[in-house]
C-alpha cells in the first residue's frame, strides 16, 4: 500500500475505535492534516451516533461541515471523551511533533481537555528520536526576531515558515510559525517547557507533557496499535 492508502486504512481504524469505545451522543475532538482528514471521512458514516465534533482548525471545520457533521465551539463543551489527530513524528513513548499543518495551538488546546488522545499515523512517522522533522513554534509576529534568536541560541536553525508565494505563513490565529530544524530532542518534556517560557511563543509543536494515549499506525501488514498510558 502507498502512503495515502495507509492513511485511509488508519483513518477507518480510528472511526471504528471511536464507534466501539465512545458512547453515542458524545462530542468528538478532531485534529488537522491529511490523516485526520481520512478520519473525518470515515467518521461521516457514523455521524448520527454523535452530537458533533470540536475542530482544531478552519480546514477541518470545513471538511466536517461538508459531511454534515455539526461543529461545536470548544467553549460549549464540558469534556471530550476522545481526540483523534495525526502527527509529524511520534516516538516509542507517545511523544509527538505536530504542527506541520500549522494548527498546533488549537490542536494542543483541544487535546488538553480530551480524556484520551488517539494518534493516527502511517509507519513512516515512527522515529527513535524526535527532531528530524522541523519543530514548529507558533509566535506572535512582533516577537519573531526575538524568538528566532532565543531558539538559535539553543542550537539548530529556526526559520520563518513562508507560503508558496514567499509571504509569511499565518496560522488561523493570525500568528507566524518558526520551523526549527537540526534538532535531536532527547528530552521532549524539558524542551517543551523551556520553549513555552520564551516571551512571544504561543506554543511549541511538542506534544510531550500531554502525549498520545494510543497510537493507531498504518503498516503494510495492517493497523498496529500501541498503548502508552492506561
Q: What is the structure's pLDDT at 192?
A: 98
Task: Give the domains, in start order, of the chain with CATH numbers.
Answer: 3-127+209-227 (3.40.50.1360), 135-205 (3.30.70.260)
Answer yes or no: is pLDDT of 2 > 90. Answer: no
Q: Which residues pair with 137 in a beta bridge?
A: 178, 204
Locate cell 464507534: which residue? 19
Q: One of 5, 76, 89, 107 is an active-site residue; which one? A: 107
d(CA 201, CA 64): 29
pLDDT in tens, 97-126: 999 999 999 999 999 999 999 999 999 999
List, as residue ranges, the binding site for substrate.
32-35, 85-88, 98-101, 125
Residues 8, 60 contacting (CB under 8 angstroms):
no
Q: Using 50, 70 and 90 to split pLDDT, how confident is the model at 1? A: confident
- The helix/strand/coil state of 212 is coil
Locate cell 461543529: which residue? 71
Is 58 annotated as catalytic? no
pTM for this prediction: 0.94
> Average pLDDT over the chain, rounded to whole?
96
Answer yes or no: is pLDDT of 230 > 80. Answer: no
Amino acid at each position: 500500500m502507498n502512503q495515502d492508502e495507509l492513511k485511509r486504512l488508519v483513518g477507518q481504524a480510528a472511526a471504528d475505535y471511536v464507534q466501539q469505545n465512545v458512547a453515542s451522543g458524545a462530542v468528538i475532538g478532531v485534529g488537522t492534516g491529511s490523516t485526520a482528514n481520512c478520519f473525518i471521512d470515515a467518521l461521516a458514516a457514523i455521524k448520527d451516533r454523535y452530537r458533533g465534533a470540536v475542530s482544531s482548525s478552519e480546514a477541518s471545520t470545513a471538511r466536517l461541515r461538508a459531511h454534515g457533521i455539526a461543529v461545536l465551539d470548544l467553549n460549549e463543551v464540558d469534556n471530550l471523551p476522545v481526540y483523534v489527530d495525526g502527527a509529524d513524528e511520534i516516538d516509542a513513548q507517545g511523544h509527538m511533533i505536530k504542527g506541520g499543518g500549522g494548527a498546533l495551538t488549537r490542536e494542543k488546546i483541544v487535546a488538553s481537555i480530551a480524556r484520551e488522545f488517539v494518534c493516527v499515523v502511517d509507519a513512516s512517522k515512527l522515529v527513535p528520536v524526535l527532531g528530524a522533522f522541523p519543530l514548529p513554534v507558533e509566535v506572535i509576529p512582533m516577537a519573531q526576531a526575538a524568538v528566532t534568536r532565543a531558539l538559535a541560541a539553543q542550537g539548530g536553525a529556526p526559520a520563518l515558515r513562508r507560503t508558496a508565494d514567499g509571504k509569511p505563513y499565518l496560522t488561523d490565529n493570525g500568528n507566524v510559525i518558526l520551523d526549527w530544524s537540526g534538532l535531536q530532542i532527547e528530552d521532549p518534556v524539558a524542551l517543551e517547557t523551556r520553549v513555552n517560557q520564551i516571551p512571544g511563543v504561543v506554543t511549541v509543536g511538542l506534544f510531550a507533557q500531554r502525549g498520545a494515549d494510543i497510537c493507531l499506525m498504518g503498516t503494510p501488514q495492517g493497523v498496529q496499535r500501541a498503548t502508552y498510558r492506561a
